[in-house]
Structure 1
Amino acid sequence: MKKKFLMVFIVIVVVMTFFTPSYAKNTVEFPEEDSTELQYQDMIMLFLGSHIDQAISDHYSFYLKKDPIVYPYQIEVKKVKRINEFREFHFVIILEVTPVVGPHITVGKDKLIFEVSPTIPGKVKLLKFEHLETHELPPVWMHLLKKKPSL
């Protein structure tokens, strides 16, 4: 009797494992090896991390009860542009970020445009925040919603 119960239990667990829908998305492509460009991008993320977190928190606080997190590997540097002339220390940096809640459940995709210059107080200024995509939360995480974001 115990063996039959154990077999039935194992079959149920296996069936549930393969047929339960997953809401995890592989939205990040990881580089195969390190490069100078990747090192520079990672340094930019360290410098801009708190500014990115603040922009994300400000936007999603209207929609979510909990602030999403943006991991450095979920930030893509789209463009870095030097303003004015060669060797001027004034830049515009365009990023795409994918904030997550809980166990890496994506809530959207956003574009952030920062201006970085020694003449700016704090040296960083958010020029533009653009919400690009809204990702549906799985039913178990719907309790985090205040209201549904719109594009």
Structure 2
Amino acid sequence: MRLQDMLVLLLLPHMREKLFEVYSGILTGSGSPDIYPYFVDVNNTKRVNGFRGFDFLITLDARPTVGPHIPVGEDIFTYRISAAGVELKSFKHLRGPNIDDFPPNYQDLLK
């Protein structure tokens, strides 16, 4: 669990960059989503080229938020991590945002 948490922390900047891009068409500028490590689950890890190969795929389920932890959706990221660096292999926006999840004083964050 500790290693997974460290890996999530290292991937957060990459995830935030993609979330900003995806949610900029849904949320106003002040409503840019954030992602916290405790709202990210590691779904799967795979060593791509066998035993002791240093090329990995990791799939993460993330639930970004705005304001005081108001959920804005759910997204799946798959990253390739290798000696060449970190590469986003796939991204899937599963759901959200749902206006019913937003308190009235935060609904102006939705476009």
TM-score, normalisation: structure 1: 0.67
Counterpart CA distance in 2 for 1:118 and 1:138 is 44
Change (3 A) 1:135 1:145: closer
Displacement of 1:54 after TM fit?
0.7
Greater C-alpha radius of gyration: 1
Displacement of 1:138 after TM fit?
2.9
Counterpart CA distance in 1 for 2:21 and 2:48 is 27
In the alignment of these two chains, the number of paired residues is 106
Aligned residue number for residue 63 of structure 1: 26
Q: CA RMSD in A?
A: 1.0
- Unmatched 5+ stretches in structure 2: none
Q: How does 1:82-93 map to 2 (within 5 A)?
A: 82-93=47-58
TM-score, normalisation: structure 2: 0.90
Aligned residue number for residue 19 of structure 1: none
4+ residue stretches of structure 1 with deviation over 4 A? none
| 1:127 aligned to which of 85, 89, 95 | 89
Counterpart CA distance in 2 for 1:45 and 1:91 is 14
Q: Which has the higher contact order (CA 8 A, sep 6+)?
A: 2
Displacement of 1:139 after TM fit?
2.6
Aligned residue number for residue 95 of structure 1: 60
SS of the counterpart of 1:88?
Answer: coil
Displacement of 1:94 after TM fit?
0.2
Aligned identity (percent) is 41
Counterpart CA distance in 2 for 1:41 and 1:130 is 21
SS of the counterpart of 2:11?
Answer: helix
